Amino acid sequence: SNHVYDDGFGLVLSRQSLDAGKLGVYVARERNAFAMLRLMGRLVAGSWKQDEGLETYAVTSLTVHSRRHRLKMVNDGEIRKLHAPLHYRILPGALKVLAPG
């Protein structure tokens, strides 16, 4: 994600800043049905960041290596199969947004 998500309740999460120059990286250590249900329950309750099966990182770049050639990833909310290694980096201030004043 563009920056790390804040603690919060429900399925709509927010961030304090979108221009901090950090990527929010979330790694689910367990991907079985029970672990995913537990994480979803904690998401609704607002305690998802304390889930013992979830690791959270704030980085400026990231490379994902794997023994598998294709990885199932969630990018911008979409599940996609991508070829490894995967390279991510953030470009602070690269997107200019016009908004009504």
pLDDT tens by residue, 11-20: 667 777 777 8
Nearest partner of 52 among 64, 32, 35, 40, judged by Cα:
35
Residue 73 has pLDDT above 80, yes or no: yes
Distance CA 56, CA 59 (A): 10
What pLDDT does residue 9 have? 64
Residue 23, strand partner residues: 2, 59
Q: Which residues lie closer than 8 Å to 83 by C-beta, 6 or more apart?
A: 69, 70, 71
Average model confidence (pLDDT) for the chain?
82
> What's the pTM value of the predicted model, to 2 decimals?
0.69
Give the model's pLDDT for residue 47.
76
Q: How confident is the model at residue 62, as a pLDDT? A: 93
